[in-house]
Structure 1
Amino acid sequence: MPNTLPILTPAFINDTLINNRIILAPMSRASAEDDGTPTQNMMTYYESFAKGGYGLLITEGTYTDANYAQSYANQPGMVTERHKLGWQNVTQAVKKTNGKIILQIFHAGALSQHVTQSYAPSAVKPAGTMLEGYGHKQGAYDIPKTLDLNDIQAIKQGFVQAAQLAEEAGFDGVEIHCANGYLLDQFLTDYSNERDDQYGGPLQNRIRLTCEIIREIKQRTGYAFIIGVRLSQSKANNLDYFWPNGVTDAHAIFTSVADAGVHYIHLASDMKGYTYHSRTKDKINLTAYARDVTGLPVLANGGLHDIELANAVIDKKQADFIAVGKSAMVNPDLPQKIQAGKPISEFTFDVFKYGVSIEGQLKWQSENETRRGRPEKS
């Protein structure tokens, strides 16, 4: 394929030139050490995507405090000096290949499958059940305790400190996770936020904490340091949720985070795909709308390993970048394959035969390679 495909053209986020529009989406791999420190396997894993030509890598969600933020066992953190040094090994490996990498910073809130007692905007029991394959806790979610204003300030400082550590570790920026039903999205969502203070009630109050985090990170980090935000309609525990007031809600959310100073918006549609959750209930395209009302680069997500669809999204200016998740696991060299016109390996959930970790995938890959290498039985 010619290199003039829309997804293979360069573009900027803030002042950083991204060599193409194909971004590694954040994917939870539960592969850190028990204390949250990134491992050698994680370094090799992220390095493989940089070598494979992805324009930008976004890491898995990384917890921001040692008390209540962690979602599952072996999730990486960015809280301690040891965490920072572990991530520094990752960024150095990525930079050796001229890659660019952003740390996604995250607080689980009520959806934690790890902490003894979860905390959230309000004491509302989350719908659904815990994600299989992550952590030791399974089944129904616990009822969280309500965060007080001192707790909220501590959470804010956790995000800010994680961003500062990320900059020290060599990351090009951070992505603030306000999506998929986790803590900041719990503040944003009407049914999980019953507060009557400055963080509850009207939508502008419910997005307030995310905006305060954006502003404080911007004050504490360098001009070139990228600050993005991940938003979504759907939740990990509520796949069919849409913003109740459609484009009215979208306008308030997008303009609020833009005014706070983010450099890009990542609209996650990974649960049911781009064509389903990048739209409001009345079918207004949200990625295109975010571009129009903010002027910011927008990352689209959800099934965009479909190259025809991905090119159309960029060509029609519905988004500026496409973030690829599950398909990337079996195509760490996806941009190079597209450039060369080579076939793309099809993702299969059999990848998780031995669990969701990087080690589990390596075992599955080794088993498949051994099987393919066996002579045919006569």
Structure 2
Amino acid sequence: MPQAEKILFNQEHISNHIFKNKLIVAPMTRISADDDGTPNDRMRRYYERYALGGFSAVISEGIYTDEIYSQGYANQPGLANEHHQHGWEPITQAVKEHGSKMIAQLMHAGAQSQYNQYTSETASASPVQPPAEKVSSYGGQGAFPVPKAMDENDMDAAKQGFVQAALRAAEAGFDGVELHGANGYLLDQFLSASTNKRTDQYGGPVENRVRFLTEVIESVREAIGPVPILGIRISQAKVTDGSYRWPGGEADAAAIFSELGKTPLDYIHTTDGDGLGEGFGNDTLSMAQAAKEYSSLPVIANGNLGDPEKSSHAINESAADFVSLGRTALANPDAPYRILHGQSMNSFDPSLIMQPLANVKEAELEQNIFKE
């Protein structure tokens, strides 16, 4: 292993939690829960592989938070009731037994819901229809409906959904929670000018559009207390609009990350097509660099960082504190040990893992894990 890459295996802190290295599994939608959203043993086997493979932490796929509007996909896992909570307990236990942290990504799909067992309508910041069709690998087809605009009661219910799911996550053994504020889901629908057309205190200038996010953060932290990890994931691009960029560019980034930095967050997790690329046009910072500079919080960077030379460069150049791996981790659940011992990486083949549906395949579970 080259000297420059050794930094990936230094311990790092988030709040008072010690991570054994700087390599984290990114959240990835795998739609493998039971029909009612309860996690199962197949999911335990899936998540445990990453801990066996040496990752310091595993961030779960997006978990829906309530029995109203939050569910996004069929067979998406939930933390919306005690039955869901108990389903997660053997999963968190298995991951933590191998010395890894486990963080629950809490997600409200909003307008990007393409299946919801609790209701046939969707809800969002404004009645703006997502521009693309539903994702076939997540079991969807056809156009998204036009969502209803959330009123104050709807927003309070969504906020309480995040709060209650975070409390259940703590009870289920998660080390913390990550709020899904990226990829076009509800929190991002409030943040983005393309989906937020409100004229109240939650719409208009970027300082207003970030308000609902900061209120959710404050409410969750008040409920869970100071010990559990609390993070948020932020992107510009959406599942249904991959080319979207904040209209104000780096000025918007400065406003958004500065406001997030004032909240009781422990970290920000940025994701972009290139985790180290110019995030806002020529000669601008990357998303991760902007998050670090304007928030002063620890940052997890995501986006095409599977090459250990590139991921270590991100750490060595202080562009990020951690890197999260998605496709690389799918193909190499033992990526940390492969890097540490100079083993070659498997290439990611979406036809084997993500098609025809993105559910967990038996071949993944039978894959040999390279152990230290």
TM-score (norm 1): 0.92
Which of 195, 209, 216 aligns to 1:206? It is 209
State which of 116, 122, 126 in structure 2 corresponds to 1:122: 126
Which of 124, 131, 151 is 2:154 aligned to? 151
SS at match of 2:168: helix
1:273 is displaced (CA, Å) by: 2.9
Q: Which residue of 1 aligns with 2:15?
A: 14
Contact residue 46 and residue 365 of structure 2 kept, 8 A: no
Read off the aligned partner of 1:76 and give its amino acid letter: P
Percent of aligned pairs with the same amino acid: 42
1:363 Cα shift? 4.5
Shift of 1:365: 7.5
Q: Is the 8 A contact 1:264 1:299 kept in 2?
A: yes
Secondary structure at 1:155's aligned position in 2? Answer: helix
Aligned AA (2:122): S
- Partner residue of 2:245? 242
Letter in 1 for 2:151: D
SS in 1 for 2:38: coil
1:305 aligns with 2:306: yes
Aligned equivalent of 2:358: 356
Q: Which moved more, 1:288-297 or 1:33-42?
A: 288-297
Correspondence 1:139-288 to 2 at 5 A? 139-269=142-272, 272-276=273-277, 279-285=279-285, 286-288=287-289
Residue equivalent to 2:30? 29
Distance in 2, matches of 1:96 and 1:55, equals 12
In the other structure, the counterpart of 1:84 is 85
Which residues in structure 2 correspond to 1:286-325 (within 5 Å)? 286-325=287-326
Shift of 1:222: 3.0
1:275 is displaced (CA, Å) by 4.5
Partner amino acid, structure 1, of 2:17: T
**Structure 2 CA distance for partners of 1:148 and 1:314, relative to 1, 3 Å:** same
CA deviations on 1:103-146 (whole Å, 9 max, x unpaired) are 000011011101321111111111111111213x4121111111
SS of the equivalent of 2:181 reads strand
- Contact 2:275-2:288 at 8 Å conserved across structures: no
What secondary structure is seen at the aligned counterpart in 1 of 2:43? helix
- Shift of residue 199 of structure 1? 1.3
**TM-aligned CA deviation for residue 294 of structure 1:** 2.0
Cα contact 2:132–2:240 (8 A) shared by 1: yes
Partners of 1:26 and 1:198 in 2: CA distance: 31
Partner of 2:39: 38
What amino acid sits opposite 1:202 in the alignment? P
CA distance in 2, matches of 1:309, 1:37: 37
Describe the superposition over 1:9-55 as per-residue Cα deviations: whole angstroms up to 9, x where unpaired.
Answer: 11111111111110000000000001101010111111110111101
1:290-329 deviation per Cα after TM superposition (whole angstroms, max 9, x unaligned): 2122221111111111111111111111111111001111
Structure 2 alignment gaps of length 5 or more = none
Q: Which residue of 1 aligns with 2:61?
A: 60
SS of equivalent to 1:267: strand
Partner of 2:102: 101
Whole-angstrom distance in 2 between the partners of 1:196 and 1:119: 17
Tell me the distance in 2 between the aligned counterparts of 1:323 and 1:24.
5
Count matched residues.
362
Please state how far the C-alpha of 1:168 moved relative to its aligned partner: 0.9
Deviations 1:260-299 (A, max 9, x none): 1111011111xx33245x6112341231222122221111
Structure 1 residues without counterparts, runs of 5 or longer = 370-378
Asked if structure 2 preserves the Cα contact closer than 8 Å seen for 1:354 and 1:364, the reply is no
> What TM-score results when the alignment is normalised by the length of structure 2?
0.94
What do you get for the CA RMSD once the two structures are aligned? 1.7
**C-alpha separation in 1, matches of 2:54 and 2:190:** 36
Amino acid in structure 2 at the alignment position of 1:281:
G
**Residue aligned with 1:274, SS:** coil
